[in-house]
């Protein structure tokens, strides 16, 4: 009696007191909540957390970390025991969204749709969670527990109270039930489309009311006998289907389908039946897979291959710079073009030059202010010919260099953006020296944070052709010593062919073949009378030497003297420039170089030789 009295005393001391109030807090979770007002403590707690974090001292990258580390775990704890109303989830999501975009206690415009932020990182998002989808995923987890006959105590209590002898899949919603059970019943429609039984010995899977064949929803168990039947009942002693029993219980059509589509050899007597979650490759239900199943659908991003991986996986980038690159990729910088179209459906001019629309391409690359900083910096980047498509532009300047150089470009982009904001809002003029110093400071921060090594890297070679100049595509072909060929295609600024030349010759290495091709092309261009030309090559070593980022002595000795001649041609002709391009852009000239090597053929002109059809496809020369 004394022990019983102590139990009663402890029960009265607990925060939950036998349901005297509609909703109680127990172990931090709201119990028996029936309306959104019962979740106000949770909303207020999250709001206090968000207001307690000083947005002034946090970058958006830091805010993302805190949202994932604090807000989402609080919701996970609440969702594991309660069905949170959609209005409450929308309120919490609004608080989080405003916290992410706000600064200095002021709300700002959401420049990128929240659905894009909640996508996984490798699908173009930031990896945040959609709270409504997360709540539904927890309800699906409860469905899975019920359908898989879990031994959990709450499952046994729910079955005894709401199901009794009914099948979980065919049970109807009762009038007086908890909000959590109502949510489980609503989620059941989603779950039944993604589960099936993998039959073993057939002793665990019920014959009626269970998803083990395509017509299972048409055979609701109507008697207690049918509720107790399992699949093993329909097997004869030899392990084959007992067609008489199948027809008797299911009818001829369904019995025929079962006997024809589910072969008895698939029934393994040594293995138990297993409920399969078809959305997972291994059949195991996980909360992560359930969330991906019900997450809001967003159109797949039209980004160049590897751009997303380049942003998130490149070592040595500060988190704030990764987020900045992600915003550029999604056209989400607060510039006049985007803000103007949001407010008045009209684009605003550039805040610095005042002539062109203030887009990302213009603000960071095409504005005279930005062009002067890029050109005068150690990178020497000429931005006139960069593409208009933002993701393609980003991939071009980040993805054509080594990982350490990618960090250098990203740091310069971030420094340019910071200096632009200072110039626009504070009126302080930026200089190339301040531009390079600020970019170098971000590199040092990455080193101090252990994100990058302290190794000094070289500037990036110029990889963009200049406008208004002729273009000469150059390539060499080499197979073995003394068997080589090279070719060039010279065109004007409008890509009109002016001249092409092919020549067979001797070379001791692939590099020497490329160098001789460049030397042959420069001499031919001068002879043609062109003094301002950009030479395109796919040989990175040759480009590095011409641009001055590598010494000729560091390369193949057999090409040394030819390299000196090439360097002399570029030094004595200031209008000559070299550009490194992908191999795919040199397909035609590569075919010509191979043709010259294989046929001991040399030719210079602006038309094809008479023994070749005029205007033929160059790929046919192979």
Confidence grade of residue 24 (pLDDT, cut at 50, 70, 90): low
Residue 337 lies in a domain: yes
Give dist(CA 464, CA 588) in Å, integer. 20
**Same domain for 389 and 474?**
no
17-26, 356-365, 554-563: which has the minimum mean pLDDT? 17-26
405-448 confidence digits (pLDDT tens):
788 889 999 999 999 999 998 888 888 778 888 888 888 888 87
Residue 464 lies in a domain: no
372-416 confidence digits (pLDDT tens):
888 777 676 667 777 888 888 888 888 755 667 788 889 999 999
Structural domain span for residue 171: 136-294
Question: Look-up: residue for tokens 């065109």?
Answer: 491
Higher pLDDT, 73 or 545: 73
**Same domain for 89 and 150?**
no
**Same domain for 289 and 311?**
no
Residue 463 lies in a domain: no
For 389, which DSSP code? S
**Same domain for 402 and 522?**
no
Nearest to 41 by CA among 94, 78, 87: 78
**Same domain for 369 and 407?**
yes
463-516 confidence digits (pLDDT tens):
344 445 788 999 999 887 778 899 999 888 777 888 888 988 888 888 888 999
**Same domain for 432 and 526?**
no
Give dist(CA 398, CA 301) in Å, integer. 18
**Same domain for 493 and 576?**
yes
User: Considering its fold, how many domains does the chain have in total?
Assistant: 4
What mean pLDDT value characterizes the chain?
Answer: 80
SS3 of residue 71 by DSSP:
helix
pTM (2 decimals)?
0.66
Residue 146: is its pLDDT beyond 60?
Answer: yes
**Same domain for 541 and 394?**
no
Give dist(CA 329, CA 395) in Å, integer. 9
**Same domain for 258 and 318?**
no
- Two structure tokens written together for 409: 């470009």
Residue 39: is its pLDDT beyond 70?
Answer: yes
Q: Among 232, 265, 294, where does a domain finish?
A: 294
Residue 8 lies in a domain: no
Contact between residue 441 and residue 417 where contact means Cβ atoms under 8 Å apart: no
Residue 613: is its pLDDT beyond 60?
Answer: no
Residue 611 lies in a domain: yes
**Same domain for 102 and 142?**
no
How far, CA to CA in Å, does 518 sit from each of 266, 489, 582, 585, 593?
68, 11, 16, 16, 12
Alpha carbons within 13 angstroms on the beta-carbon side of residue 163 total 21
Confidence grade of residue 16 (pLDDT, cut at 50, 70, 90): very low
Percent of the chain with pLDDT over 90: 18
**Same domain for 281 and 339?**
no
| Mean pLDDT (whole number) for 228-246 | 82
Residue 3 lies in a domain: no
Q: Among 414, 448, 482, where does a domain finish?
A: 448
Q: Facing residues of 503 across strands?
A: 486
293-318 confidence digits (pLDDT tens):
998 887 777 887 788 988 998 888 99
Residue 422 lies in a domain: yes
**Same domain for 140 and 280?**
yes
Q: Facing residues of 335 across strands?
A: none
Residue 130 lies in a domain: no
96-124 confidence digits (pLDDT tens):
998 898 876 666 788 899 999 999 998 88
Residue 131: is its pLDDT beyond 90?
Answer: yes
Q: Among 251, 268, 294, where does a domain finish?
A: 294
Q: What is the CATH number of the domain that holds 615?
A: 3.30.420.10
Nearest to 522 by CA among 483, 486, 480: 486
């Amino acid at each position: 009696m004394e022990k019983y009295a102590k139990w009663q005393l402890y029960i009265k001391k607990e925060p939950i007191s036998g349901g005297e109030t509609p909703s109680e807090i127990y172990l931090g979770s709201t119990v028996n909540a029936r309306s959104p007002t019962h979740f106000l403590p949770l909303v207020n707690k999250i709001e206090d957390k968000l207001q307690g974090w000083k947005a002034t001292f946090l970058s958006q990258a830091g805010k993302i970390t805190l949202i994932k580390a604090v807000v989402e775990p609080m919701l996970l704890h609440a969702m594991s025991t309660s069905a949170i109303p959609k209005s409450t989830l929308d309120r919490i999501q609004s608080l989080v969204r405003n916290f992410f975009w706000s600064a200095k206690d002021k709300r700002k415009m959401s420049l990128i749709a929240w659905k894009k932020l909640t996508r996984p990182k490798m699908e173009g998002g930031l990896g945040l969670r959609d709270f409504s989808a997360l709540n539904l995923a927890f309800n699906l987890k409860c469905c899975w527990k019920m359908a898989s006959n879990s031994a959990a105590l709450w499952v046994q209590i729910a079955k005894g109270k709401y199901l009794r002898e009914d099948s979980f899949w065919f049970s109807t919603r009762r009038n007086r039930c908890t909000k959590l059970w109502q949510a489980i019943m609503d989620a059941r429609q989603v779950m039944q489309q993604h589960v099936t039984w993998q039959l073993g010995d057939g002793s665990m899977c019920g014959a009626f009311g269970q998803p083990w064949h395509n017509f299972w929803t048409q055979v609701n168990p109507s008697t207690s006998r049918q509720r107790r039947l399992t699949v093993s009942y329909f097997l004869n002693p030899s392990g084959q289907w007992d067609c008489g029993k199948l027809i008797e219980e299911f009818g001829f059509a369904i019995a025929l389908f079962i006997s024809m589509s589910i072969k008895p050899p698939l029934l393994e007597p040594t293995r138990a039946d297993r409920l399969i979650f078809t959305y997972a490759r291994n059949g195991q239900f996980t909360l992560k897979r359930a969330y991906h199943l019900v997450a809001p659908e967003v159109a797949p991003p039209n980004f160049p291959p590897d751009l997303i991986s380049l942003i998130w996986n490149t070592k040595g980038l500060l988190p704030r710079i990764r987020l900045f690159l992600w915003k550029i990729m999604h056209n989400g910088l607060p510039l006049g073009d985007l803000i103007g179209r949001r407010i008045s459906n009209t684009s605003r001019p550039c805040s610095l030059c005042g002539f062109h629309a203030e887009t990302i391409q213009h603000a960071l690359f095409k504005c005279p202010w930005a062009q002067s900083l890029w050109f005068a910096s150690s990178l020497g980047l000429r931005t006139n010919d960069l593409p208009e498509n933002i993701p393609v532009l980003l991939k071009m300047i980040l993805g054509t260099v080594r990982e350490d150089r990618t960090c250098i470009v990203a740091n310069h982009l971030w420094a340019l953006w910071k200096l632009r904001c200072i110039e626009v809002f504070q009126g302080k003029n930026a200089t190339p020296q301040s531009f390079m110093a600020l970019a170098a400071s971000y590199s040092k921060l990455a080193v101090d944070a252990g994100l990058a090594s302290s190794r000094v890297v070289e500037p990036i070679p110029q990889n963009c052709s200049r406008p208004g100049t002729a273009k000469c595509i150059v390539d060499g072909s080499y197979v073995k010593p003394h068997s080589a060929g090279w070719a060039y295609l010279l065109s004007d600024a409008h890509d009109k062919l002016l001249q092409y030349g092919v020549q067979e010759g001797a070379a001791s290495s692939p590099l020497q073949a490329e160098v001789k091709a460049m030397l042959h092309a420069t001499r031919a261009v001068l002879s043609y009378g062109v003094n301002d030309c950009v030479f395109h090559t796919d040989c990175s070593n040759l480009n590095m030497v011409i641009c001055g980022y590598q010494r000729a002595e560091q390369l193949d000795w057999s090409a040394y003297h030819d390299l000196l001649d090439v360097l002399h041609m570029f030094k004595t002709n200031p209008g000559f420039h070299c550009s490194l391009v992908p191999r795919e852009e040199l397909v035609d000239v590569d075919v010509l170089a191979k043709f010259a090597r294989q046929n001991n053929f040399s030719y210079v002109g602006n038309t094809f030789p008479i023994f070749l059809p005029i205007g033929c496809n160059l790929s046919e020369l192979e």
